[in-house]
Structure 1
Amino acid sequence: MVRAVAIAIALALFAWTLRDVDASALGALLVSVGPLGALALVPQLSGSVLHAGAWRQLLAGLGHKKPLLPLTSISLSADAARMAAPAGPAVAESIAAFELRRRLRVPWSPTLTSLAAKKAWVFCSNAAAIALLLMVGQHELGRLAAFVPRGAFLPHLALAASVALAVLGSTSLGLLSSPRVALGVKRVMTRLPSRGIQAWIRRHLDRPAAGATAALPWSRHGAACAYLLGQWATDILETWLMLHLLGARASLPAAMMIELGTSLVRSAAFVVPGGLGFQDASYAGMISSLGVTGNSEIGAAFVLMKRAKELIFTSIGLALLAVSRRPR
């Protein structure tokens, strides 16, 4: 019931985002982008490679160095599930774990440990990105605050979010330094209310090595962090590039504000596939509030370009998943 209500609200928000748009002007604007629109695919593809690179560093630190290409394929498939499924982040993590175990034969313990460490560094890189925004985006924060109720608190909320993410990520990394963590996680998962999952985990549980690979060299941690910060840069570049392709001269700090703010909204709306409606309303609202353009068609065209790009990558990711599962 809750999920149905959330999806209904999401669809209403998506329709609301496009409510005042002149359809003919919107179509003409999208057509004017032409073949250059393909450039908008480059940042996410680069980001997926960087994300896989971070994962590869962590796995190598656990003694399981794997090729970048299959890890990128698994990352694309997991990201497709994140965008397409309700509660997508949880589904994506499950797919990543199962595919790494199935396709690359990584034992269960380092699989879980690498995913947990990667998630911790995602939190830390998010915290660093918000902190950078607070340093270089004061003008953009001020403009946005003027359009938000009690907007004077917006910089304080951003700082609180950055600190909370940093604490969460660093605490997770601290716990992962203990060899007991991986075994503890596996024990928790064997208590899940699904006999099939419990049986699968017990079958693939490497009991002699359980927890022995939980400690990671800090040099690998540093490399993973650098890769994930690079992924953030590609997300911001994508927003900046799309706006410029549509004729809006957005600054990089404005693109950073738009992407980071919408990312937080999308994370909060995890119940809805791809943050549908919530993400779109956030993009359109922030583009308008920051004065990037006074043309409502540009905001709507940006939303549609983002969704078209996500549809393409969702199709690619699901196709890669289907091909990988084909009997050989």
Structure 2
Amino acid sequence: MQLKQNKSNKVPGYAGLLLGISLIVYLFSQIDLQGAFERIFSIGFSSVLILAPFLVLHVVETFAWIKVFPPGVTQIPFFPLLRIQLIAETVSMTLPAGVAVGEPLRPYLCKRFIGLPVPESVASVAVRKLMLGAAQGLYTLLGALAGYGFLQTVSGRVIGFDGLGLLMLVSGLAVFLLFMLFLLLLLNGRVAGQLHRFLMLVPFRRVKEWLLEKESGFLDTDQALNSYRGSPSGGRLLAMFYYVVAWFMLTAESYIILSLLGVEISFYQVFAIDIALAMLRSLFFFIPSGLGVQDLGYLLFFQAIGIHDFAADGAAFVLLRRFKEVLWYAFGYGIMFLSGVHLGDAERQEDLET
């Protein structure tokens, strides 16, 4: 698997980081920072509850990932895989265009820490990513159904025209169907070989030489993907359930923070807001952690639904969410460096043979 990134591939990531920083600067010009800190300090020790949903999210995602490994791979150790999950997600969410580094890091770490063959790990990562996308579609559909009336009511004040509830319903259904289609195509067992044949059309001698050297790896990945065919689907259905639960942790986290801040808002309203902003964040995937995009989105929604002193309450909410991320990502990098993993590991193609 080619993991080395060209400098030109990093340009969108740095542009996304710059855009995110610009949005954050604008955000701070719109909020009541003093009022936000007063609300944060009033919470006290209960603020530790804010950390719980993120931990549950990663635990549930790890259980789901175990379920999507090829059928021939058994007895995946949970805690080493949880460590890989935390490291890879930290890299994906914090670096400019971090997904391009964090996702290829997963097979490398599976080989290093668990001793799994690379083709099987690559297959699991591909299936995992598509199932996570399909689960987001289901999560969006459920949120749009639960908060349809609310989304329709605030639509004009949030996006400038009616139909936000309908838009979320259509978006959720479209995302679910699209990712399920990709998943079915992936599991036909011939995708890697077809990709290899397509790449061989590239008119560069060195690229073709590398592809010829790695052809067996592509075929091994196809074989790993082919092992899903005819296997019981119960594990993958359970994985889909786990991934939907993991998405729900975002809503749970938001509701816990707002409840601690004393903001009067219902769970279904929080659910509806979160699915809309999660979809928006997906559109701005090149901005690390949706920096600025979600933050301004929350303020806009809070203003639209008439939350008292939204500039202070909204700012406190945003700051607590971001501070939680700083703590967890610092923990993730701590695990990463204590494990002897370096960012450059994901760019060493000789460490992975596909």
TM-score by length of 1: 0.88
1:161 has 2:176 as partner: no
Superposition map of 1:180-199 within 5 A? 180-184=190-194
Q: Which residue is equivalent to 2:121?
A: 111
Does structure 2 retain, via aligned residues, the 8 Å contact 1:179–1:212? yes
Identity among equivalent pairs (%)? 24
Does structure 1 retain, via aligned residues, the 8 Å contact 2:280–2:294? yes
Shift of 1:64: 3.6
Distance in 1 between residues matched to 2:32 and 2:135, nearest whole Å: 39
Question: What code does the residue aligned with 1:319 have?
Answer: G
Does structure 2 retain, via aligned residues, the 8 Å contact 1:40–1:242? yes
Deviations, residues 9-44 of structure 1 (Å, cap 9, x unaligned): 322321222324333322211111111111110001
1:261 has 2:271 as partner: no
Question: What code does the residue aligned with 1:134 have?
Answer: A
Aligned to 2:116, the other structure's residue is in SS state: coil
1:130 has 2:140 as partner: yes
Distance in 1 between residues matched to 2:212 and 2:37, nearest whole Å: 51
Distance change (3 Å), C-alpha of 1:204 and 1:310: farther
Does structure 1 retain, via aligned residues, the 8 Å contact 2:151–2:272? yes
Does structure 2 retain, via aligned residues, the 8 Å contact 1:124–1:166? yes
Question: What code does the residue aligned with 1:168 have?
Answer: L
Superposition map of 1:77-226 within 5 A? 77-184=87-194, 209-214=220-225, 215-216=227-228, 217=231, 218-226=233-241
Distance in 1 between residues matched to 2:315 and 2:142, nearest whole Å: 28
Distance in 2 between residues matched to 1:154 and 1:26, nearest whole Å: 29
Aligned to 1:152, the other structure's residue is in SS state: coil
Distance in 2 between residues matched to 1:139 and 1:89, nearest whole Å: 35
Q: Structure 2: which 5+ residue stretches go unaligned?
A: 1-10, 343-354
Shift of 1:224: 0.7
Distance in 1 between residues matched to 2:262 and 2:216, nearest whole Å: 55
Q: Which residue is equivalent to 1:276?
A: 291
Distance in 2 between residues matched to 1:76 and 1:287, nearest whole Å: 31
Q: Which residue is equivalent to 2:264?
A: 249
Q: Structure 1: which 5+ residue stretches go unaligned?
A: none
Distance in 2 between residues matched to 1:94 and 1:291, nearest whole Å: 44
Question: What code does the residue aligned with 2:300 have?
Answer: G
Does structure 1 retain, via aligned residues, the 8 Å contact 2:251–2:270? yes
1:314 counterpart (316, 329, 340): 329
Q: Which residue is equivalent to 1:67?
A: 77
Deviations, residues 116-165 of structure 1 (Å, cap 9, x unaligned): 11111112111111111222112320232031345323233212311221
Distance in 2 between residues matched to 1:191 and 1:246, nearest whole Å: 58
Aligned to 2:42, the other structure's residue is in SS state: helix
Distance in 2 between residues matched to 1:107 and 1:57, nearest whole Å: 17
Question: What code does the residue aligned with 2:250 have?
Answer: D
Shift of 1:189: 8.3
Distance change (3 Å), C-alpha of 1:297 and 1:50: same
Superposition map of 1:39-58 within 5 A? 39-58=49-68
Question: What code does the residue aligned with 1:247 have?
Answer: G
Aligned to 2:285, the other structure's residue is in SS state: coil
Does structure 1 retain, via aligned residues, the 8 Å contact 2:33–2:315? no
Question: What code does the residue aligned with 2:45 have?
Answer: P
Deviations, residues 71-91 of structure 1 (Å, cap 9, x unaligned): 111111111112210112222
Distance in 1 between residues matched to 2:200 and 2:294, nearest whole Å: 35
